[in-house]
Structure 1
Amino acid sequence: FAFGRGPTVPVSWLFQRFTMLCSLSFHFTFFLVNSVLVKADNVCELLGKFNLPALVADSDITIVLFSAFRWVQTMIFTIDEINRDPRLLPNITLGYRIFDSCDTHFQALRAALTINNGQEASVTDYDCAPSMYAVIGDSGSTQSIVVTRLLGLFGIPLVHYFSTCACLSDKQEYPTFLRTVPSDYYQVRALAQLVKYFGWTWVGTIAGDDDYGHYGIQMFSEQVKTFGVCIAFSEIIPKVNSKKKVVEIVEMIEKSRAKVILVFAVEQDMELIVKEAIRQNITGVQWIASEAWVTSALLSSQDNSILIGTLGFALRRAEISGLQEFLHKVHPFKAPQNPIVTEFWETLFHCYLGNDTSQSKPSCTGLEDLKTHENIYSDVSQLRVSYSVYKGVYAVAHALHHLFACQPGQELIVNDTCPNTVNIEPWQLLHHLKRIKFTDSFGNEILFDPNGDPIPSYDLLNWQRKVDSSTQYETVGRYGSALGSYHELHVYGQSIVWNSGKKKVPQSLCSVNCLSGTRKAAREGQPICCFDCIPCADGEISNTTDSVQCIKCDLDYWSNSQNNQCILKEIEFLSFGDAIGISLATIALLGTGLTITIAAVFTHYRTTPVVRANNSELSFLILFSLALCFMCSLIFIGQPSVWSCSLCNTLSGVSFALCVSCILAKTIVVLMAFKATGPNTNTMKWFGPMQQRAFILLCTCIQISICVSWLITSPPLPVKNTTYQSGKIILECAIGSVKAFAVVLGYVFVLSSLCLVLAYFARKLPDNFNEAKFITFSMLIFFAVWITFIPAYVSTPGKYTVAVEIFAILSSSFGLLLCIFAPKCYIILFKPERNTKKHLMGTMITDKTS
C-alpha cells in the first residue's frame, strides 16, 4: 500500500564537506535556499557559522510556515552541533544546501535534477562545486517518491524525516530510501488497536484527497475489519476548496450515529472541516487525529473547543538542549539580504521592515523580542518532526564517521579495501547508513531495519484544556518499541479527557450491545455492526455480550428468566408433599380403612344369615383384593424407583384381576344356586368351594403370568421426561411395553365383561339373596372409570398422569366396595330384623310362588 502524507513543507538539505567533498540536501516548501559558501584555507565552510545563511524567497511563494522554518533552523543547529563535536567527524566540517519542492511533483523533480547536476545558482563570489552523496528529505511522501526514484538511479541514499508512506518500505522499488519516522503501516495499526481498545465498532472516516489520505484510510479500514469494526461513512476532503462538499461532509457527521471520527489528512484540510463544524455547532464528536495534524499548532491555537478530547498518535518528542536559544538568535538585521527572514519577522510581529510609506502596518523597530512573543516557531514543547530532522542529520554524520574511520579488515566494501575518502561514492555511504546503530543524546537507539525504517514508537496524545483556556497535548499512552514490542498499545485511561471535557468513554455503535440473554441478528443489507438483539429461546442462553448465537442447555438444565445461565431443571413428580398427592394418599388410606372396617363387621357378624348367605369366603377375598388396590395406589406416589415402577402397575393389575375373579365366581355361584330347576338338583356340586378356589386361582395366575412376562421382557423403569414441560424434569415410570400394559388392562376388562354379562342374567333372582344388580352397578362404574381413564391418561401431562391413574384405581375400588358391601352392612348394622334366615327364606319363597 502506498500513500503520501505530511504538511506541505518539503525541503532538501545539502551537507557539504569540501576537503573531503561530501554533501547532503534537504527540501522545504516555501523556501529556496542556495549555497552560501566562503573559502578559507581551501576548506569550504558554512557561511554564517554563527549567522543564518541567506534565504531567497521563491517568486510565487510569500508565505512563511513557522514550523517549517523551525525545521530549517533545527537542521542548521544540528550541523553546527556536529561540527563542534570533537569525537564525531573530527577535522571534518559539514555544510548544506537547501532546495524548494513547493509541494509539487514538478518542483521536486526539478530540485532533484538540480542537485544531481550541480547547477544550482550561487549567491557567493565563488563556488566549491562539491559532489553530492546523500539527501535528507522530502517531507511529503508523494514528492519523496519522485525524488527517490530519480536519485536512486545513481545510488544516492535519501534519509527522509517526515515521509511516512508505507510503500516506501519496498526495497525493490526504493532501494536507497531510509527514514527516521515510522511507516504509516504502524500508525494505522496503532489507530486500529486504539479503536478496538475502547470498543468503538461504528467509526466514520474522513481523508484528504491525496495518497496520504486515500491509502491511510484504506489500510485503516482493512485493519479494523479484522476487529469487527465497521466504517459508518468515508468522505474525501477536496484539495480544490469546495464549500458545498465540506458542508455535506459535516452534515454527514451530524446525521450519523458514529460518534468517533478518524480524520486522515493534513492540518490545512482538517481546518476546513473544523470551521464548518463550528458553524453548524457540531458537538459530541470524538475526533481521532492522524499523525499529520495531531500536534497542529494551527488547529490547537484557535478557539476550537470542539477538538478538546481529540486523540491521536504523534512521533516521539525530545527536548533538544540549546535549540530554543539558537532559534531566538534569528533577526532580520543579522541577515539583511535574506527576504525570508524579513517576511518571517514581519508576519510574526505584524509590522513592516523597509521604507515603503504605503504600508498600513507599523514599522518594525528591530527591538521586537522572540523570547517574549509566544509563537509556533520558538515553541520547543513539541519537538517531534524537529527531532526526526535531528536524528536524520546525526544518522548521516555517523555513517560518514564510520566510512572515514574504516580500517583494513573492518567494514570493507570493495576488494577487501577501505573506500577512497577523497572520492567517496554515494553507494558506499548507503552501505554504512544501512548498518549504523548508535544511541543519541536522549538515550534512544537509532538504527534502520532491512526496509530502511526506524524502530516504530509513538506517543498517544490527548487534547486537553488548560487553566488559561489554551490547548495542551497530554501524553496518555504509548505504542511501539518503548514497551519492548512493535505492536503493543498501552493507554493511561484515567488521564484522558473526552469530547466536551467529559471523563466517560464515549460510545460509537451502530447498534447497542446485545446483553447476555440475547443474540445478534444481522440486519439485511447493512454492515455486520448493525444488528438487532433477539432474545434467546427458552432452553438457550448467551452469557456474553454481543453473542452471535445462543447455546442450548443440556438436557438436565434449563435457561433462567434472563436466559443468561443454564440452571438445573426443576425435578417434578407426584410426591406426598403435593396437595394432590396428599389428597390421593388420604383417600387411599380412607378406602383401606373402610375396607378393613367392613371386613371387621363381616368377621363380627360372620354367623348371621346375611354374611353366610353371601359366601363369606369370597367376600373376604374381595375385601382383601380391594385393600390391595387401595394400598397399591400409594406406590404411585413419591419419587419413582425401579421397584416402585415394577410394582405399581403389575400389583394393581393382579389386585383387580383377583377382585374381579372373586366377583365373577360369586356371580356364578348365585346364578347357579337360584337357577336350579328343583330342590334336589346337584348343580352346585360342579362349582363347589374347591372349584371356586381353583377358578379364582386360575384367573389370578393368568394375570400374574402376564405381569411376570412384562417384567422380564420390558419392565417399567423410572425415566426423566423432558418433553412435557421444557423447564422441568418429570420423573415418571415408563411403561416399558405398551402391549404388555394393554394386555394387563385387557385381561381385567375381559373378566369384568363376563361378570357384567352373568350379572345381567341374574337380575330376576330374589332380592334378599340377589347381588346381581349391585354387581351390575359396580361393573358399570368400573367400566366407566377405566374407559374414561384411557383418553385422560394419554392427554394428561407430567405428574398429573400418575394422579389420573391413581384416581381411576381409587374410583373403581370404591365403586366395587360400596356397590357390593354397602347394602349388606346397612342390613347388618341398621336393619338387624332383616338379618334373619326366616326373613331371607320368606322373601325367597314369596318370589318363587309369585
Structure 2
Amino acid sequence: MCSYRYLALNTYNFLAFVFAVEEINNNSQLLPNITLGLHIKDSYSYTRKIIESALQILAGQGTIVNFKCNSFRTVAAIIEGFSDDETYGFYNMFQIYRYPQVSYISQNLYMSDPVQYPYFYRTIPNELHLCAAIGKLLKYFGWKWISIFSTDDESSVRAVQILKEGIERNGGCIALHETFPHQRRITNLEFQKFHSAIKQSYTVNIFYFNKNVAFSLYNVLDLQRNVKSGQVFITIAEVEIIKINQKHFKIRNKFFIFKPYNKVMPHFLNFIREMKPVSLANDIKANIWWKVLCDSRCPKTIRRDCNSTVTTDAIVHCFSPYFGYSYSVYNAVYAVAYALHDMIMSGSGNSTTWTRENSEVLYSLPWKLHNYLRNIHFKNGLGEEMYLDENGDLATGYDILNLIFLPNMTLKYEVVGHYNPHAPQGQDFTIDEKAIVWESSFTQKPPQFRCSPSCHPGYRKLTKEGKPICCFDCIPCAEGEISNQTDMETCITCPDDQWSNQKRDTCIPKVITFLSFEEPLGIALTSFSMFFFLITAAILGIFIYYRDTPIVRANNQHISYILLISLILCFLCSLLFIGHPEDVTCILRQTTFGITFSIAFSSILAKTITVVTAFQATKPGSKLHKWMGSRVSNSIVFSCSLIQTVLCLAWLFTAPPFAYVNLRSEIGTILIECNEGSVIAFYCVLGYLGFLAGISFIIAFLARNLPDNFNEAKNITFSLLVVCSVWISFIPTYLSSKGKYMVAVEIFAILASSAGLLCCIFIPKCYIILLRPERNNKKDLRKLHIKIIK
C-alpha cells in the first residue's frame, strides 16, 4: 500500500488496511489456511519516493513493524491512495508487471476504460458520477446561476466541461469559471482572487478542487468575511477543523459537500482505541497523532483511555465523520481478498483445504487474478453487497453532506442526500430537505439562484442579447399560444379547434359562432323579416280584395301579384341565412335569393315596359297595340327569371355552396359559415340582378313624367334608386365584414331592398285604396285619356 501525502486523516487509511487484513485472517471462511501479509509505504507525494517505495514492495525488500512477512512471497495487488495525476503516472510505469492497481482515492474519469486500463480498479466512483451528482442537486433546487472554481489537471478540466454542459442543458449558465494550479494547496492570494471574483454576484459557487484533501477552517472563515451572505458553496473536499474556537461559529451554514459513499466499519474504532500505538510507514508525527486521541475534546467514539495530558491544536482527525478514506481502503482489501479466494478455490478444485503443493497457484499471480477481480461479487464486513461495474469501479455512489455550525459551538456533518448511479432511474438521487440547515439570511428555503426571475406560465423566455442563456426577459405568449410551465423557451401553439385563455397558460375550446335565431341580432333580423312578410301578405290580400278597382287593374294586376309574391319569398328567404349552416341551407339561401329577386326585378321591368307601351300605344298611328296585354309581360318575367335560374343551376353543378368550418377567420372562435363555392358564380348572380335593376331604373326614369294619376314610373324610379343604393353600399360593406356580421349585412341588404320596393311601389296605392277611395274611380282615368287624345 502506498499513500498520497502526509495528512492526519491518512493514518486512518493505514489503520483501515491493517484492520481489514486482520479481520480477513481471522475469518475461517475466507482464504482458509492462508495468512495475508501487507507492505505499507508512505510516499509524501514525492514522485521519486513513490517509485522507490513501489520497487521495494515488488522486490520484497521491506519490512513493517509488528508483522513478519516473508519477502519472497508474491505480491497480489497494489492498493494505492495517489492523486489523479500520480495514479495515472504510476499505472503507466508499472503496468508491464500486470499487477492489479486498486485506488481508493483517484476519481480520474479517463481511467474508467477497461480496454485502455485493464489492470486498474478502484473502490470509489469516477468523476463522471460526481458531475452527475452535482448536476442533480442543482436541478433539484432549480439553481441556474453558477460560478465554478476548479484545478487545471486534465481529468478535472474534462469533468468540469461535462458538468458545464449538463448545467447548460438544464437551462442554467456559468457566471464565472476560474482555474488554478492543481499540484499544491491554494494560497491565500488565490483565495483573495476568489473573493474578488464572486463578491459582486449572488450565485451557487462550486469548488471543484482539493479532491483528496480538505479546506482549512481558517480559509473558510476568511472566505466568508470577503463574500456576501446569501450564497451556497458546493465542494468536493471536507472542511478540516484545526482548532475550534468561538470565532469559527460565526461561519454560516452554506456548504454542501460531495463525498464518496462512506461508513464506519464495525469494531474499527474499538480496534483503534485498543491497539498499541505504532509508527506506521515511518510516520514522524505518529506520537502526536496517538496522543491527540487522548485529548478530552475528542468524541467518546474515538477517544483513547490513556494518561497523557498533552494538548495540541492539531485535533482534526478527532472530528472526522468517516475517518479519511478508511471505508474505501477496507473495501479494496476485501475485493482483493475475495478475488484471491475465488482464484485459489478454482485452481484447487473448489477444495476448502489444500496443501503446499497445490498452493502453487499463488505463484501465477498477478496476471491470473484479473479475471476474478473484474467479476468479483462479495459481501464486506458490514454485510453490504459489493461488486465492480464494467469499468472496474466499485458500484457505489456519493453522500451529500451539509456542514452545520450549531449555536452550542459544535460542528456537525449531516447527510442530507445520496446519489447512486447504479440505482434505477428515478431512485438514483434522494434529498432530505428537512435535514438541511440553511443560512439565516435566506428569505426562502431553499434559496433561488438565477440571473433572471422565472418566467411564469403564460410567458416565454427571450434571451438578452450578449448575455448568457439564463439571462432573459419574460414576454407574454401571443394569442393562440400558451406556456403551461415555468421558464419555457417557446410557446406552444394551440390546436386549430382551441384557443389560449386570457392568462395564456392553457388552451380552451374555441367558441362556435354563427348567426343564430336566439341571439339579439338574429332575433331583430327575424322580426323585421316576419314583419315585412306580413305587411306584404296583407298588401297582396288588399290587392286581391280590390282587384276590380281601377288602380289595381290599371297597372297590370297579374304582374303586381307576381311582384308581391316574389317580395314575400324575398322576405322569407332571408330566414335561410339565419341558423346553423348546413349544406342544404347553404345551397338554398343563395339560389332562392337570386331567383326570387330576379322574378321581382323582372316583374318591375315588365311593369315599366307596360307603362311606356301603354302611353305610346295611345298616339295616333301607333302599332304598339299588339304588344299590349299580359302575354308580353308574362313573357318578360319568365324569360328574365329563366336566365337567372340557368345561372343558378350552372353554379350548383360546377361549385355549389357548402357549409364550412372556418377556424382562422376570427380570433378565438370557430365560425360555421357557408362557403360560396364559386365566387365568380356568386357575383354573376348579383351582377345579373344589378343588370335587371339598372335596365328597369333607366326605363322608369325616362317614363317618370308621363301624365297619369296611376302612372307607376315615378314610384318604380324611386324604389329602384333605393335598391341600387342599398346594393352598391352592400358590396364594400360585405367584403369588409367577417363571420356572422357578413351574413347579417347580406340579410340587411335583402330586407332593405325588398322593403324599398314594397314601400315605394305599393304603399302609395294602398293609401289611395284604403284612405282616398274617391280617387280610385274610372272617371278620373277617362278624363286623363281624353286629355291625352286631344
Structure 2 length normalisation: TM-score? 0.85
Deviation at 1:207, TM superposition (A): 1.6
CA contact (8 A) 1:456 1:486 kept: no
**Aligned equivalent of 1:440, options 377, 380, 384:** 380
Cα gap change, 1:691/1:180 in structure 2, threshold over 3 Å: closer, same or farther?
A: closer
**Secondary structure, aligned partner of 2:307:** coil
CA distance in 1, matches of 2:640, 2:325: 109
Gaps of 5+ in 1: 1-24, 31-64, 352-364, 412-416
Cα gap change, 1:71/1:760 in structure 2, threshold over 3 Å: closer, same or farther?
A: closer
1:804-840 residue CA offsets vs partner (Å, 9 max, x unmatched)? 2222222222222222222222222332332232233
Partner of 1:729: 670
CA distance in 1, matches of 2:331, 2:644: 105
Partner of 1:246: 191
CA contact (8 A) 1:305 1:500 kept: no
Deviation at 1:801, TM superposition (A): 1.6
Cα gap change, 1:635/1:436 in structure 2, threshold over 3 Å: closer, same or farther?
A: closer
The alignment status of 1:279 with 2:225, answered yes or no, reads yes
Cα gap change, 1:716/1:433 in structure 2, threshold over 3 Å: closer, same or farther?
A: closer
CA contact (8 A) 1:403 1:419 kept: no
The alignment status of 1:717 with 2:693, answered yes or no, reads no
1:449-484 residue CA offsets vs partner (Å, 9 max, x unmatched)? 565432223333333455634232233333338857
Give the residue type in structure 2 aligned to 1:303.
F
Cα gap change, 1:486/1:165 in structure 2, threshold over 3 Å: closer, same or farther?
A: farther
The alignment status of 1:327 with 2:267, answered yes or no, reads no
Partner of 2:79: 136
Deviation at 1:761, TM superposition (A): 3.5
Give the residue type in structure 2 aligned to 1:105.
T
How does 1:519-598 map onto structure 2 within 5 Å?
519-598=460-539
CA distance in 1, matches of 2:676, 2:121: 85
1:542-578 residue CA offsets vs partner (Å, 9 max, x unmatched)? 4344444333333333222233333332222222233
**Aligned equivalent of 1:830, options 771, 776, 782:** 771
Partner of 1:693: 634
**Aligned equivalent of 2:54, options 94, 104, 112:** 112
Give the residue type in structure 2 aligned to 1:344.
W
**Aligned equivalent of 2:2, options 26, 33, 46:** 26
How does 1:98-109 map onto structure 2 within 5 Å?
98-109=40-51
Partner of 1:73: 15
Cα gap change, 1:300/1:719 in structure 2, threshold over 3 Å: closer, same or farther?
A: farther
CA contact (8 A) 1:258 1:508 kept: yes
Cα gap change, 1:234/1:705 in structure 2, threshold over 3 Å: closer, same or farther?
A: same
Cα gap change, 1:474/1:182 in structure 2, threshold over 3 Å: closer, same or farther?
A: same
Give the percent of matched residue pairs that are identical in Structure 1 and Structure 2. Answer: 37
Query: Structure 1 stretch 684-693 or stretch 239-248: which is displaced more?
Result: 239-248
CA distance in 2, matches of 1:676, 1:632: 38
How does 1:280-429 map onto structure 2 within 5 Å?
280-290=226-236, 292-293=237-238, 296-297=240-241, 302-303=248-249, 305-308=251-254, 310-324=256-270, 326-327=272-273, 340-344=285-289, 367-368=307-308, 375-379=315-319, 381-383=321-323, 385-397=325-337, 408-409=348-349, 418=358, 420=360, 427=367
Deviation at 1:429, TM superposition (A): 6.3
Cα gap change, 1:138/1:782 in structure 2, threshold over 3 Å: closer, same or farther?
A: closer
**Secondary structure, aligned partner of 1:303:** helix
CA contact (8 A) 1:571 1:731 kept: yes
Deviation at 1:707, TM superposition (A): 2.0
**Secondary structure, aligned partner of 2:560:** helix
The alignment status of 1:255 with 2:200, answered yes or no, reads yes
Give the residue type in structure 2 aligned to 1:392.
A
**Aligned equivalent of 1:605, options 539, 543, 546:** 546
Cα gap change, 1:662/1:540 in structure 2, threshold over 3 Å: closer, same or farther?
A: same
Partner of 2:125: 182
CA distance in 2, matches of 1:151, 1:548: 52
Partner of 2:589: 648
CA distance in 2, matches of 1:638, 1:96: 97
CA distance in 1, matches of 2:587, 2:250: 86
CA contact (8 A) 1:630 1:809 kept: yes
Give the residue type in structure 1 aligned to 2:379.
T
CA distance in 1, matches of 2:495, 2:724: 43
Structure 1 length normalisation: TM-score? 0.79
**Aligned equivalent of 1:459, options 399, 403, 425:** 399
Give the residue type in structure 2 aligned to 1:516.
P
Deviation at 1:236, TM superposition (A): 2.3
CA distance in 2, matches of 1:422, 1:582: 104
The alignment status of 1:755 with 2:696, answered yes or no, reads yes
CA contact (8 A) 2:618 2:789 kept: no
Partner of 1:265: 210
CA contact (8 A) 2:143 2:172 kept: yes
Give the residue type in structure 1 aligned to 2:481.
E
CA distance in 2, matches of 1:603, 1:319: 118
Partner of 1:231: 174
Cα gap change, 1:510/1:272 in structure 2, threshold over 3 Å: closer, same or farther?
A: farther
CA distance in 2, matches of 1:155, 1:602: 123
CA contact (8 A) 1:260 1:508 kept: no
Gaps of 5+ in 2: 297-304, 352-356
Deviation at 1:383, TM superposition (A): 4.1
Partner of 1:145: 88
Query: Structure 1 stretch 261-270 or stretch 437-446: which is displaced more?
Result: 261-270
Cα gap change, 1:261/1:765 in structure 2, threshold over 3 Å: closer, same or farther?
A: same
Give the residue type in structure 2 aligned to 1:153.
I
Cα gap change, 1:775/1:288 in structure 2, threshold over 3 Å: closer, same or farther?
A: same
Partner of 2:299: none
**Aligned equivalent of 1:193, options 133, 136, 145:** 136
CA distance in 2, matches of 1:338, 1:719: 92
Query: RMSD of the TM alignment (CA)?
Result: 4.2
CA contact (8 A) 1:480 1:486 kept: no
Partner of 1:166: 109
**Aligned equivalent of 2:449, options 508, 520, 528:** 508
Deviation at 1:768, TM superposition (A): 1.0
